[in-house]
């Protein structure tokens, strides 16, 4: 037996793929040309992730515009934007290095996903020999598509949220139907909801409880058995090697976060200043029985924003320390975040996206080896 271990989802897109996306936006290449590059990047990602020894793999989201916008736009520049959306929505996040990411704005209803995560998974699955996971976006992120204060004529916020929950449920079910062994829900807006950044109004509206309630509206549609394999990912962001909410105390998030009835949690922790403080919070607030499932806590042992590769010894040390606060039957290991949640990401601290890819696979290999060592040490 070893502790469970799993990545969050994304990998840096090769420079070649990022160039192809830009060329597609300029209409210099066809969608077919872009698809070929995406297929090649997914195949390469899966093969290299399998070679790390990871027990479960992903395609690195090489076809997605971003972890958050894949259901509604083909590229971050807005090519292939879904119906009833305009490009000028609110900021999702302003990062510490000053760059920001913006969401589209809903202009009418009904709200529908144009792409489901399963559309990607179906194409990538044939490349894998190991079980695959699929990440999906939380409804709590996409609820920010609706204007913060105004109402949309003819399409109330309530109607929108009902449609959104239906689409989010479909996204998860279809991923399982397409063969995903596990589905994790990206919830990076959770920590950001306590930031109170005056430049980004929604972060000062105390929306965390609404987010939790909205996500549970979807999660509670699944049986306890299904929820064993439905996870939640939390982090302070991870884009262009920068973060958006690392200064928010986990104590403001975790008691609420564990109220979601998910079976497992993928939590940024490697880059925390005081890891043991957070392990303790996780031990205190995670639940043995979340409406029929025990919540398994995957702690982050790898920092995707730092080019220095962690050692297996460090990973082992973190897990053994965490096991003093979190029961080992409910302990696992993950990376702090996806390695590139947005498709266009030059990974400045790494020097280039291609170099960042090489480093990412080395980091995953260190995680896998560290998990092995910790499992032996813990007598599993
Ligand atoms: Zn993340």
pLDDT tens-place string over residues 163-211: 999 999 999 999 999 999 999 999 999 999 999 999 999 999 999 999 9
Q: Are 91 and 148 in contact (CB under 8 A)?
A: no
Cα(243) to centroid(ligand 1), Å = 9
Q: Are 313 and 370 in contact (CB under 8 A)?
A: yes
Cα(281) to centroid(ligand 1), Å = 19
Give the residues across from 105 on adjacent strands.
86
206 burial class (0-12, 13-18, 19+ CB within 10 angstroms)?
exposed
Cα(336) to centroid(ligand 1), Å = 7
pLDDT at 186: 98
pLDDT at 150: 92
Q: Is 28 part of any domain?
A: yes
Cα(366) to centroid(ligand 1), Å = 19
Cα(156) to centroid(ligand 1), Å = 30
pLDDT at 8: 98
Cα(152) to centroid(ligand 1), Å = 31
Q: Find, among 246, 251, 308, the residue nearest to 279 by Cα.
A: 251
Q: Is 3 part of any domain?
A: no
Both tokens of residue 250?
């986990």
Whole-angstrom distance, CA of residue 124 vs CA of residue 130: 12
Q: Is 95 part of any domain?
A: yes
- Per-residue pLDDT averaged across 119-146, rounded? 98
pLDDT at 52: 98
Q: Is 181 part of any domain?
A: yes
Cα(186) to centroid(ligand 1), Å = 7
Whole-angstrom distance, CA of residue 69 vs CA of residue 89: 12
Mean pLDDT of the chain: 98
Cα(329) to centroid(ligand 1), Å = 24
Cα(185) to centroid(ligand 1), Å = 10
Q: Is 57 part of any domain?
A: yes
Q: Are 80 and 73 in contact (CB under 8 A)?
A: yes
Instruction: Give Cα separations from 141 to 5, 16, 58, 246 (angstroms).
Output: 25, 29, 22, 18
* Side-chain half-sphere CA neighbours of 307 within 13 A: 14
Range of the domain at 85: 15-377
Whole-angstrom distance, CA of residue 13 vs CA of residue 145: 26
Helix axis angle for 275-285 and 312-322, nearest 10°, is: 40
Domain tally, the chain:
1
Cα(184) to centroid(ligand 1), Å = 11
pTM beyond 0.85: the answer is yes
What tens digit of pLDDT does each residue of 93-117 get?
Answer: 999 999 999 999 999 999 999 999 9
Whole-angstrom distance, CA of residue 73 vs CA of residue 67: 11
Cα(95) to centroid(ligand 1), Å = 13
Cα(36) to centroid(ligand 1), Å = 27
Q: Are 128 and 48 in contact (CB under 8 A)?
A: no
Cα(322) to centroid(ligand 1), Å = 20
Cα(86) to centroid(ligand 1), Å = 25
Q: Are 278 and 343 in contact (CB under 8 A)?
A: no
Cα(193) to centroid(ligand 1), Å = 14
Cα(188) to centroid(ligand 1), Å = 6
pLDDT at 265: 99
Is residue 147 very low, low, confident or very high in pLDDT (cuts 50, 70, 90)? very high
Task: List the CATH number of the domain containing 147.
Answer: 3.20.20.210
Q: Is 5 part of any domain?
A: no
């Amino acid at each position: 037996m070893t502790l469970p271990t799993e990545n969050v989802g994304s990998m840096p897109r090769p420079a070649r793929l990022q160039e192809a996306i830009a060329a597609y936006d300029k209409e210099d290449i066809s969608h077919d040309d872009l698809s070929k590059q995406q297929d090649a990047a997914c195949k390469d990602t899966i093969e290299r992730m399998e070679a790390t020894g990871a027990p479960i793999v992903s395609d690195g989201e090489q076809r997605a515009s971003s972890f958050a916008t894949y259901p509604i736009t083909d590229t971050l520049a807005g090519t292939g934007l879904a119906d009833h959306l305009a490009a000028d929505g609110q900021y999702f996040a302003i990062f510490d290095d000053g760059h920001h990411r913006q969401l589209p704005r809903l202009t009418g209803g009904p709200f529908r996903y144009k792409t489901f995560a399963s559309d990607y998974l179906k194409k990538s699955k044939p490349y894998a020999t190991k079980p695959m996971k699929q990440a999906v976006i939380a409804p709590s992120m996409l609820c920010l598509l609706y204007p913060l204060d105004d109402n949309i004529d003819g399409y109330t916020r309530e109607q929108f949220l009902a449609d959104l929950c239906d689409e989010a449920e479909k996204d998860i079910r279809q991923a399982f139907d397409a063969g995903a062994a596990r589905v994790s829900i990206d919830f990076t807006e959770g920590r950001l909801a306590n930031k109170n950044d005056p430049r980004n109004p929604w972060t000062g509206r105390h929306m965390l409880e609404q987010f939790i309630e909205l996500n549970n509206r979807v999660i509670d549609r699944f049986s306890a058995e299904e929820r064993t394999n439905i996870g939640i990912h939390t982090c302070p962001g991870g884009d262009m090697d920068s973060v958006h909410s690392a200064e928010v105390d986990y104590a403001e998030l975790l008691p609420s976060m564990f109220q979601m009835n998910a079976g497992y949690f993928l939590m940024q922790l490697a880059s925390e200043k005081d890891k043991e403080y957070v392990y303790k919070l996780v031990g205190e607030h995670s639940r043995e029985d979340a409406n029929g499932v025990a919540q398994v806590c995957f702690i982050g042992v790898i920092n995707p924003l730092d080019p220095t590769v962690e050692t297996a010894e460090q990973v082992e040390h973190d897990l053994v320390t965490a096991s003093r606060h979190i029961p080992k039957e409910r302990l696992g290991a993950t990376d702090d975040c996806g390695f590139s949640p947005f498709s266009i990401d030059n990974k400045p601290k790494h020097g280039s996206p291609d170099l960042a890819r090489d480093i990412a696979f080395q980091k995953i290999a260190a995680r896998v080896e560290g998990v092995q060592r910790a499992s032996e040490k813990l007598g599993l």
